Amino acid sequence: MIVAILVACVLTVACTVDASYIEERRNCRTEGCVTQYGCVPRYSQYSTAVYCPQRCVIERCRSVENVPQRRICQQITSVATGQLLAAQDNYDRRTHQRYVSLVNPNSGERDRWIMTVGPGNNYYIQNSETGEYLRASDNNFLYLVSGRPTDESFLFTPNLVQGSWSCVLLQSVCYRGFIYSEQYSDRSRNGFALMAPDLDRCYRESLWIISSVNC
């Protein structure tokens, strides 16, 4: 009789623990957004989370040691050519500055970027490998510059076409021009990116796909 009572008590406790554990685990997950900071809660202090181009799940109840989050980068792909913005070693002969190139997918040519929110919800665009920032120029070139951004020539506004990051116009805050892809007649060669003062001549070339990838 005593043994039967003890067994019943153990089963009751076990069932209570299991039920509370299941309920606790159910409350451990919440929806977040993929940003350059990792998976962060929506509507948090990270203003990039407001746009939420890609959703993720945040696990809040891990009892094991903290697992470092993977860093999130962006790839910026031309809709017109399918090539990616990259930081290759191409130089403007007049200014001796490095300008932004376009490379074919999966070429591994420094084609990953970190888009960080700046003033007015505009973005700084930094290459994840070289640490250089994209900077617009009054000669319609886009250069790669080391060091911290100093003015609005480093800021770009992403204008989402139909509200989607899969079709974006990138506009310079300082010069108001739009980044577009310029392709050589020999399509086996890598192209480069310039700025257009308006979209009349090169609207399709000014459309970009911005996708999140692991750095």
Domain ranges (residues) in the chain: 72-214
What's the predicted TM-score (pTM) here? Answer: 0.68
According to DSSP, the residues that pair with 84 across neighbouring strands are 77, 103
Q: Is the dihedral of CA 214, 82, 101, 55 positive or negative?
A: negative
For domain 72-214, the CATH class is mainly beta
User: Is there a contact between 110 and 98 (Cβ–Cβ < 8 Å)?
Assistant: no
Q: pLDDT for 107-122, tens place per residue? A: 878 999 999 999 998 9
Which of 15 and 183 is assigned the larger pLDDT? 183
Confidence category of residue 129, pLDDT binned at 50, 70, 90: very high
Locate 135 and state its tokens. 């900077």
* Cα 62 from Cα 139, distance rounded (Å): 52
Q: pLDDT for 144-175, tens place per residue? A: 999 999 999 999 999 999 888 999 999 999 99
